[in-house]
Structure 1
Amino acid sequence: MPVDDHLQFGSAKVSLSSSIIRKLPVAGLIVAALALAACSQEKAAPVAEIIRPVKVVEIGEAQTTRQLDYSGSVRARVEMNLGFRVAGKVTERLVDIGQHVNAGDVLARIDPTDYALSVKSAQASLDAAERQVEIVDIAKKRAEQLYAKNFAPKSQLDQATLTYDQAVATRDAARSTLAQAQNQVQYADLKATKDGIVTTVAADVGQVVAAGTPVMTVAVDGEKEVLIAVPEMDIAGFRPGKEVKASFWSDDALTLAGKVREVAGSADAQSRTFAVRVSLPSDPRVLLGMTANVAATVDSKAQLVSVPLTAMAQKDGKQIVWTVDRASDTVHPRAIKVANFTADGVAVADGLKQGDVVVAAGTQFMTENLKVKLSSDVEQSASAEDDVATTSSLH
Structure 2
Amino acid sequence: MFSPRTTFMPSAAALVLLAAVGMLASGCQQKQAENKEVIRPVKVVEIAKADTTRALDYSGSVRARTDMNLGFRINGKIVDRRVDIGQRVKPGDVLARIDSTDYELAVKRAEATLESAQKQVQTADLTRNRAQQLFDKNVAPKSQLEQAQLGYDQAVTTRDSAKSALDEAKNQVAYSDLKSDLSGIVTAVNADVGQVVGSGTPVLTVAVDGEKEVQIAVPEMDIAHFSTGKAVKARFWSDDALVLDGTVREVSGSADTQSRTFSVRVSLPNDPRVLLGMTANVAASAENTQPFVSIPLSALAEKDGQKIVWLVDRQAGTVHSQPVKIADFSDDGVRVADGLKAGETVVAAGTQFMTENLKVKLPDAAGQQAAAVPNGNAAAADVVR
TM-score, normalised to structure 1, is 0.86
Partner of 1:82: 70
Instruction: Give, in whole Å, the separation in 2 of the partners of 1:76 and 1:207.
Output: 28
Q: 1:351 and 2:335 equivalent?
A: no
SS of residue in 1 equivalent to 2:291: strand
Pairing 1:45-194 to 2, within 5 Å after superposition: 45=30, 46=33, 49-194=37-182
Instruction: Say if 1:306 and 1:382, in contact at 8 Å, map to a contact too.
Output: no
1:33/1:321 Cα in 2 relative to 1: closer, same or farther (>3 Å)? closer
Instruction: Say if 1:239 and 1:263, in contact at 8 Å, map to a contact too.
Output: yes
1:317/1:264 Cα in 2 relative to 1: closer, same or farther (>3 Å)? farther
Deviation at 1:40, TM superposition (A): 6.8
1:186/1:388 Cα in 2 relative to 1: closer, same or farther (>3 Å)? farther
Deviation at 1:344, TM superposition (A): 4.2
1:291/1:149 Cα in 2 relative to 1: closer, same or farther (>3 Å)? same
Partner of 1:392: 381
Moved more, 95-104 or 336-345: 336-345
Letter aligned with residue 86 of structure 2: G
Instruction: Say if 1:373 and 1:394, in contact at 8 Å, map to a contact too.
Output: no
Q: 1:297 and 2:280 equivalent?
A: no
Deviation at 1:388, TM superposition (A): 5.0
Q: 1:30 and 2:13 equivalent?
A: yes
Instruction: Give, in whole Å, the separation in 2 of the partners of 1:363 and 1:199.
Output: 56
Q: Please, which of 263, 275, 278 is the counterpart of residue 251 of structure 2?
A: 263
Partner of 1:10: none
Instruction: Say if 2:292 and 2:376, in contact at 8 Å, map to a contact too.
Output: no
Instruction: Say if 1:249 and 1:292, in contact at 8 Å, map to a contact too.
Output: yes
Instruction: Give, in whole Å, the separation in 1 of the partners of 2:303 and 2:195.
Output: 63
SS of residue in 1 equivalent to 2:160: helix
Deviation at 1:193, TM superposition (A): 1.0
Letter aligned with residue 247 of structure 1: R
SS of residue in 1 equivalent to 2:290: strand
Deviation at 1:368, TM superposition (A): 4.1
Instruction: Give, in whole Å, the separation in 2 of the partners of 1:373 and 1:327.
Output: 11
1:40/1:337 Cα in 2 relative to 1: closer, same or farther (>3 Å)? closer
SS of residue in 2 equivalent to 1:35: helix
Deviation at 1:355, TM superposition (A): 0.9
Q: Please, which of 237, 240, 250 is the counterpart of residue 249 of structure 1?
A: 237
Instruction: Say if 2:293 and 2:378, in contact at 8 Å, map to a contact too.
Output: no
Instruction: Give, in whole Å, the separation in 1 of the partners of 2:165 and 2:9.
Output: 147
Instruction: Say if 2:50 and 2:375, in contact at 8 Å, map to a contact too.
Output: no
1:373/1:65 Cα in 2 relative to 1: closer, same or farther (>3 Å)? same
Partner of 1:7: none
Deviation at 1:103, TM superposition (A): 1.6
Instruction: Give, in whole Å, the separation in 2 of the partners of 1:117 and 1:177.
Output: 13
Instruction: Give, in whole Å, the separation in 1 of the partners of 2:68 and 2:383.
Output: 62
1:39/1:340 Cα in 2 relative to 1: closer, same or farther (>3 Å)? closer
Deviation at 1:232, TM superposition (A): 1.4
C-alpha offsets along residues 159-208 of structure 1, whole Å, 9 cap, x if unaligned? Answer: 11100111111111111111111111111111111111111111111111
Instruction: Give, in whole Å, the separation in 2 of the partners of 1:364 and 1:254.
Output: 46
SS of residue in 2 equivalent to 1:218: strand
Letter aligned with residue 391 of structure 1: A
Deviation at 1:361, TM superposition (A): 3.8
C-alpha offsets along residues 325-368 of structure 1, whole Å, 9 cap, x if unaligned? Answer: 21232333333333344444443221110111123344455444
C-alpha offsets along residues 357-395 of structure 1, whole Å, 9 cap, x if unaligned? Answer: 123344455444443322343444444x44554323252
1:289/1:315 Cα in 2 relative to 1: closer, same or farther (>3 Å)? farther
C-alpha offsets along residues 197-228 of structure 1, whole Å, 9 cap, x if unaligned? Answer: 11111111111111101111111111111111
Letter aligned with residue 332 of structure 1: H
Instruction: Give, in whole Å, the separation in 1 of the partners of 2:179 and 2:219.
Output: 39
Instruction: Give, in whole Å, the separation in 2 of the partners of 1:387 and 1:181.
Output: 72
Partner of 2:4: none
Unaligned runs of 5+ in 2: 1-7
Pairing 1:178-257 to 2, within 5 Å after superposition: 178-257=166-245
SS of residue in 2 equivalent to 1:57: strand
CA RMSD of aligned residues (A): 2.4
Instruction: Give, in whole Å, the separation in 2 of the partners of 1:260 and 1:315.
Output: 46
Unaligned runs of 5+ in 1: 1-22
Deviation at 1:309, TM superposition (A): 4.2
Q: Please, which of 271, 277, 285 is the counterpart of residue 283 of structure 1?
A: 271
Length, aligned pairs only: 370
Letter aligned with residue 137 of structure 1: D
Instruction: Say if 2:48 and 2:376, in contact at 8 Å, map to a contact too.
Output: no
TM-score, normalised to structure 2, is 0.88
Pairing 1:344-383 to 2, within 5 Å after superposition: 344-377=332-365, 378-383=368-373
Instruction: Say if 2:308 and 2:322, in contact at 8 Å, map to a contact too.
Output: yes
Instruction: Give, in whole Å, the separation in 2 of the partners of 1:288 and 1:320.
Output: 49
Letter aligned with residue 182 of structure 1: K
Moved more, 105-114 or 49-58: 49-58
Moved more, 64-73 or 129-138: 64-73
Partner of 2:5: none
Instruction: Give, in whole Å, the separation in 1 of the partners of 2:269 and 2:303.
Output: 49
